[in-house]
Amino acid sequence: MRMSTIFNVTAVLTLILILVSCKKESSEQLSFQNAIKASFSFLKSAQASNEANQLRSADYSALFEIAKVVRDKDLLTINVTYPDGCGDSKFEVIWNGLAMLPYPEIIFLYIRRTTLYIRRTTDCKVEGNSTSRVLSINLTECLGDAALAQRVKIILCNTSKKANTENSDIPVSSN
């Protein structure tokens, strides 16, 4: 009987150790995911998307460049660079909630940089000093549809710049 008691105690301690280590791993991963999400906010709003499209300029969004984009299944990784020393930068990824047909669907994601700054954003141009940030977007989570996230084509729009419509088929209003 003594041997079975030792076995039971060992089994219970092993089970507790496994559960504790799993919880630690989950909390570490959750902390990492929160850090990624803290680098940007994802807005699903037709109004915000229309505003981002219409107001694209250095006045609407602090200046930045999209340096690199990598897509791996439903993970979209966007590397952005921007002038350093301009305050704390926050990024918004804005989607209107719609996917355009034909198949595969197309969505527009507008990227906007906002800053908490002392100087005006347009005045904040520190020559030679730039910093970068990685925006990692889980498309399944953000779009709410795993199948759509796998097949959708994405057009990224930098809202700190006006769209170049010089040679496009889209008529430009003269407002």
pLDDT tens for the chain, 175 residues long, are: 566 666 665 665 555 656 555 544 344 333 334 444 557 899 999 999 999 999 999 899 988 999 999 999 899 999 999 887 656 788 999 999 999 988 899 999 999 998 765 444 455 555 567 888 999 999 999 999 999 999 999 999 999 988 766 655 655 555 4
111 and 53 in one domain? yes
pLDDT attached to residue 13: 55
127 and 45 in one domain? yes
139 and 78 in one domain? yes
Count of all residues that appear for the chain in the document: 175
Residue 13 in domain: yes
Tokens of 23: 């919880």
pLDDT attached to residue 136: 94
Tell me the longest C-alpha to C-alpha distance in the chain. Answer: 91
52 and 3 in one domain? no
> Which amino acid does the sequence have at 41?
S
Can you give 111-131 as a three-state secondary structure string?
Answer: EEEEEECCCCHHHCCCCCCEE
123 and 55 in one domain? yes
| Contact criterion met (CB below 8 Å) for 154 and 73 | no
Total tally of structural domains belonging to the chain? 2
The four Cα atoms 164, 41, 87, 118 give a dihedral, to 10 degrees, of 90
By 3-state DSSP, what share of the chain in percent is helix, strand and coil, each rounded to 5?
A: 35, 35, 35
88 and 3 in one domain? no
* Domain boundaries, position 28: 1-38
pLDDT attached to residue 124: 55
Tokens of 29: 């991963």
pLDDT attached to residue 28: 39
Q: Where are the alpha helices (DSSP H) in the chain?
A: 2-38, 46-54, 139-143, 146-151
